[in-house]
Copies of this chain bind each other. A is one copy, B any other.
Amino acid sequence: MNILIVHAHPEPLSFTNSLKNTAIDVLQKLGHEVEVSDLYAMGFNPVASAADFTERGNPDYLNYALEQRHASKHHVLADDIQTEIEKVQKADLLILNFPMYWMSMPALLKGWIDRVFVSGIFYGGKRFYNHGGMAGKKAMLCFTLGGRDHMFGETAIHGAMENILIPIQRGTLAYVGYEVLPPFIAYHVPYISQEAREQMLVDYRQHLHNIEHLQPIEFATLEQFDDKLYPLAKG
């Protein structure tokens, strides 16, 4: 497989960075091609703006998604966006590797999604969910957080992790067509022993060794809905 890891952590010595390096090592040894976008190291710009288009469909009013559609069709996307799109298109597996900030991605990684997942290539018209532009490809989250695992769950203080991840796993990755593999989650990282962290790297190696056998998470498919996206009656 061709694999793209998109990594966003402000500290190069972080455990999140070690997870990224572990993935590179394991996946290369398994014979895969691995590419990395290290967003902090690249100084990637996360702010969607008019400057993302070298020529405009409508120069007087910025509808960002419509300009994405125009720009992807006419090849007038900013170079940094075009470069990232080509990496994503080449990759059979996309791994987003990050520290959880506010039950979501750091803004730098969120902005990579905002700017790179352009309308017209990743989705558009009826091309979304299982018909999205990335259909046939896989994606996976690998993230660290301070909370303990018992703080997440239906009756736990923060609620179920699968619900917290809905905007990313369902609303973003599945929306553009990816089969979303179960995430690798490293809990309570700043507060545990070095031994416990090393065990997490061992666990992540195991997760990655098994990656071609992981069952994707199930989400809705377009076939369950009518032309106007009302649910079809069951049975």
Contacts and interface: CB of A to CB of B under 8 A. Distances in A.
Interface stretch (A19-27, A29-37, A106-114, A205-213): A106-114
A112 B229 CA distance: 34
Given A11-B61, A225-B157, A102 B107 contact: no
A65 interface: yes
A65 B164 contact: no
Interface stretch (A82-90, A134-142, A167-175, A193-201): A167-175
A72 interface: no
B171 A103 contact: yes
Residues of A in contact with B, size category: 35 or more
Given A159-B170, A167-B167, A110 B104 contact: yes
A190 B66 contact: yes
A165 to B, nearest CB: 9
Nearest to A47: B108
A113 B108 contact: no
Given A40-B49, A150-B229, A229-B157, A167 B111 contact: no
A102 B48 contact: no
A224 to B, nearest CB: 8
Given A11-B61, A11-B62, A230-B150, A129 B106 contact: no
A231 interface: yes
Contacts of A14: 62
Contacts of A40: 47, 49
A136 to B, nearest CB: 20
A186 B155 CA distance: 31
Q: Which 10 interchain pairs have the tightest Cβ spacing? A: A107-B111, A103-B171, A103-B167, A11-B62, A46-B107, A107-B110, A107-B107, A102-B172, A104-B167, A10-B49
24 contacts: A10-B48, A11-B50, A11-B64, A14-B62, A40-B49, A46-B107, A46-B108, A47-B108, A64-B99, A66-B190, A102-B110, A102-B117, A102-B168, A102-B172, A102-B175, A104-B110, A106-B110, A106-B111, A107-B107, A107-B108, A150-B230, A157-B224, A157-B225, A159-B170
